[in-house]
Amino acid sequence: MGTKSARAVLQGGSRQQAQKEFVRCQKRGYEIIAVDHPRYPWRLARITDPPPYLYAFGRPLDPEPAIAVVGTRNPTRYGFSMARRLSADLADMGLTIVSGMARGIDTAAHKGALDAGGSTVAVLGSGLSVIYPPENRKLYFDISRQGTIVSERPVDDPPNSYNFPARNRIISGMCLGTVVVEAAKKSGSLITARLAAEQNREVFAVPGNINSYKSSGAHNLLKQGAKLVERAQDVIEEIAPLLLSAKNSEGANLRHPENQIQAADLTAEQARVYHALDPYPAHIDELARELSMDAGALLSVLLNLELKGMVTQMPGKYYCIRGVET
């Protein structure tokens, strides 16, 4: 915990209470990350009301780039399966999955990211020491080993109902966009979608059974202009330009700086695609034919290479080796 983070806690509430909170965090291995700390999520810092500090437990907080996956606490079998598979596919493409560790779709989202060996962030509506719901105790510690648990609430704060709408702004604020998988008309996940729109982030929705009230909220989002999602590539196609602009944005958190490009750990498929590129831009359809690959699968590989800083996307879905001017 840095000096600025400690000072942020000590400035809130009475000094004696803040000192006790500070000691509790140290004993339990929790970190306090102030809004001006280098590891504070830079997208979250840009919303109108960012938390002055976050409590964090698990791996060092590094959510960039991230997508939120949210929905009902009482999903259908289809909704749970879709959320888990979609999250696994997005995590496999290098995105951090952010959700609220609630029952239902949130649980499916975190499990999907863990299934893929990817990163996930759980944003709690309680303090870090209060695991809610209690049946997600194992999931809590699984996330802490592979991702991060965060909260803006004091460490022993209970999961009061009024905490959750405020919590939702953190979920959407960390992310490039929010995907609503299954939601009724009054679902809390629609608050997250609304906040995402207010924060100028992308809003996505997964269609469901038109006769199911559990999908009525998601369908309303689609009517209002949310992007329809049937598979992970639908999300990737929308956010790819945002990922590229983020690399050039002040404060963007690059996972693979230029001096590490040559040491990038490529899979056999990534290496094959990379070696098919040259300094002159090639259209994705041309590359797909040359490599005998499905365009969606190729797009996923190209995105991973972009995230590694090895490939640049040009206008019109043209790609070339990064750093070459044409």
For residue range 66-90, list pLDDT tens digits in order: 999 999 999 999 999 999 999 999 9
Show Cβ contacts of residue 126 under 8 Å, excluding neighbours closer than 6 positions.
Answer: 132, 151, 153, 157, 158, 159, 160, 163
- The pTM assigned to this predicted structure is 0.75
Provide the pLDDT for residue 14: 61
Residues 298 and 325: their CA atoms lie apart, in Å, by: 23
Closest CA to 147 of 64, 46, 24, 70: 64
**C-alpha 206: how far from its chain's center?**
17
- pLDDT > 90? residue 173: yes
125's CB contacts (< 8 A; 6+ apart) are 100, 132, 151, 153, 159, 160, 163, 164, 167
The tens digit of pLDDT for each residue in 88-113 reads 999 988 899 999 999 999 999 999 99
pLDDT in tens, 200-237: 999 999 999 999 999 999 999 999 999 999 999 899 88
> What would the two tokens of residue 43 be?
């997208």
Residue 312 CB coordination number (10 Å)? 18
How many CB atoms are located within 10 Å of the residue 137 CB? 11
User: What pLDDT score was predicted for residue 252?
Assistant: 39
Task: Give the Cα separation of 70 and 92 in Å (integer).
Answer: 18
Ordered domains of the chain (ranges, CATH): 57-234 (3.40.50.450), 255-321 (1.10.10.10)
Query: Is the pLDDT score of 255 beyond 50?
Result: no
- Evaluate whether 79 touches 181 at the Cβ level (below 8 Å): yes
The pLDDT-based confidence of 64 (bands split at 50, 70, 90) is confident
pLDDT of residue 282: 82
